[in-house]
Amino acid sequence: MNYENILVTAEGAIAEVTINRPSKLNALNVATIQELHHAFNTLELNPEIRAIILTGSGEKAFVAGADIAEFAHFSVEEGAHLASSGQELLFDFVEKLKTPVIAAVNGFALGGGLELAMACHFRVASDNAKMGLPEVSLGVIPGYGGTQRLPQLIGKGRAMEMIMTAGMMSAEDAYRLGLANHVVPQAELIDYCKGIAQKIIKNSPTAISQAIKAVNAGFKDGVNGYETEIKCFGKCFGTEDFKEGTTAFLEKRKAEFSGK
Ligand code: COA
């Protein structure tokens, strides 16, 4: 697939996906969502890739939301389909990836942009980042998982206020409330994320993928996260990574994980 709206690069085991529509503040149109789906799926299937950094092009925006021009005339059915297909192709898809995805939030993360950052496994913000879910100011609600993931991350009352006021919060506030794990100067954002990714890729990819599954299970309706954890824990014992990790420890050497 030829990408027109995103850039994908890799340096060793760390891939970088950049949403590249700076003239539209990287707004997510359907074509961009499809390209992102393809890129994430391809990276997930590549055993060499062990961490992914997702960011936006330019210095102004991570993603300023779903593309308003594209959905402004949608019917009820088209609106529902936009949300369900987007969640399936991108937002839920990213959350469930076995490969860790770090959102490098380099400016505005609004609406679908914040929803995409929240679907990533965690977020690092640049000091100029601004985050918000302004959908009610347009007469809609967050439709890419925002009503679910924002309360999970910052609590129900704060999420209610943020959604109802359609307000934006600063990077510092996002850090204080747990929406961003770190705030760094914009020029250092990608290197900072790469530094975290370097730590991640030293560890067992199979164990990390089971950990993602177990953590996510705790936020799913009708799923017992503790039971999922038991199953995921058990599965680790059947992996080469587990044999390597424990053997390396006992032999007092560094583990070399194959990801199998
Ligand atoms: N969808 C479509 N286009 C968007 C967009 C979006 N979500 N966000 C920004 N753009 C476009 C603008 O229409 C403009 O395009 P143009 O130059 O062809 O007119 C371009 O990106 C630059 O945006 P602009 O509004 O001129 O920049 P600004 O610095 O004045 O304001 C924002 C920045 C983020 C405050 C403002 O763009 C904004 O409010 N965007 C919408 C945010 C939103 O409601 N997102 C939720 C959508 S569900």
pLDDT, tens only, 147-169? 999 999 999 999 999 999 999 99
Choosing from 5, 23, 25, 170 the residue with most ligand 1 atoms within 8 A of its CB, the one to mutate for a pocket test is 25
Nearest atom in ligand 1 to the alpha carbon of residue 168 is 35
The string of pLDDT tens digits covering residues 46-88 is 999 999 999 999 999 999 999 999 999 999 999 999 999 999 9
3-state secondary structure of 122: strand
CB 150 within 8 Å of CB 162: yes
4 is catalytic: no
Q: What architecture (CATH level 2) is domain 6-200? A: Alpha-Beta Complex (3.90)
pTM of the model as a whole: 0.97
Cβ(135) – ligand 1 distance below 6 Å: yes
Cβ(65) – ligand 1 distance below 6 Å: yes
- Residue 186, both tokens: 């914009």
115 is catalytic: yes
- Residue 131, both tokens: 């985050």
